[in-house]
Amino acid sequence: MSNFITKQQILNLIKNENFKTEDEFRDFLIPKLAILFRIKEEQIDKEPITTSFDKTLSNRADIIIRNNDYKFKKAYIVFELKLSKSVDDFKGGDYSKSGKQLKKYCQDTRAPYGVLLTEDFCAIWRNKYFSYDQEPKRIIKNEIPSIKNIEDIMAEESLLDFFLQRKSMKYLCLSIILVFIFLVFVEFLKIILGINNIFGTMLLSFILGSISGLISFIIFKIRKTFD
């Protein structure tokens, strides 16, 4: 599987097609996108409402490709669809209002990529996942990462998001201290129990780690329930 999908591959999905309405355009495209990006069709939202606070723009995107986790939804790519004949502000290859809409949808959903698509035009924008206020930038390259690559990008940028938070260092230091205490506790138990071999150490660490993980999970579930 290729690490990238080109703009031409996206345009080829609708090559020689003639759509009368944007609804027809959208319904035709959705199953084609599922095949191209190798995802389930259920991962593609049709006309989802975004949390747009700009009253001058629509708050309903055309298409959003999301992850496959129904409990923890994340947006990967936003598609803004337009029919060339219906766009009055098309000047010199720049869909100004449509581009503004797409950028807003990316910011609303924190989707790292946005695609503006007509029957004969395709442009891609990049929205940095960890930055809430920055404006998405147009990508000059004729390609967009595969879903797997987008997932990797989001994982890296969410980690960066963590490190940029004001109180992140406090929790990072706390985690290091807790690991240190855990290791000291393991060594202390080894002395008490007379364990002096690698297998015994690994087994003890596994048991204690499992217990610690279970306690942490229970605490998390309780806090999530009552917050």
Angle, helices 168-193 vs 147-164, to 10°: value is 90
Are the CB atoms for 127 and 75 separated by under 8 Å? no
- Give one DSSP letter per residue of 165-227, joined into a string: STTHHHHHHHHHHHHHHHHHHHHHHHHHHT--SHHHHHHHHHHHHHHHHHHHHHHHHHHHHH-
Residue 42 carries which DSSP code? Answer: G
Q: What is the pLDDT of residues 52-72, one digit of tens each?
A: 555 556 678 899 999 988 778
Distance CA 9, CA 28 (A): 15
Q: In whole numbers, what is the pLDDT of the chain averaged over residues? A: 79
Distance CA 105, CA 45 (A): 13
Local confidence band at 81 (pLDDT 50, 70, 90 cut-offs): very high
Q: What is the pLDDT of residues 177-192, one digit of tens each?
A: 777 777 777 777 777 7
Residue 87 carries which DSSP code? Answer: -
Q: Where are the domains of the chain?
A: 4-162, 167-226
Domain 4-162 top-level CATH class: alpha beta
User: Would you say the pTM of this structure is higher than 0.85?
Assistant: no
Q: What is the token pair recorded at 209?
A: 């780690």
Say if residue 14's pLDDT is above 80. Answer: yes
**β-pairing, 94-95 with 63-66?**
unpaired
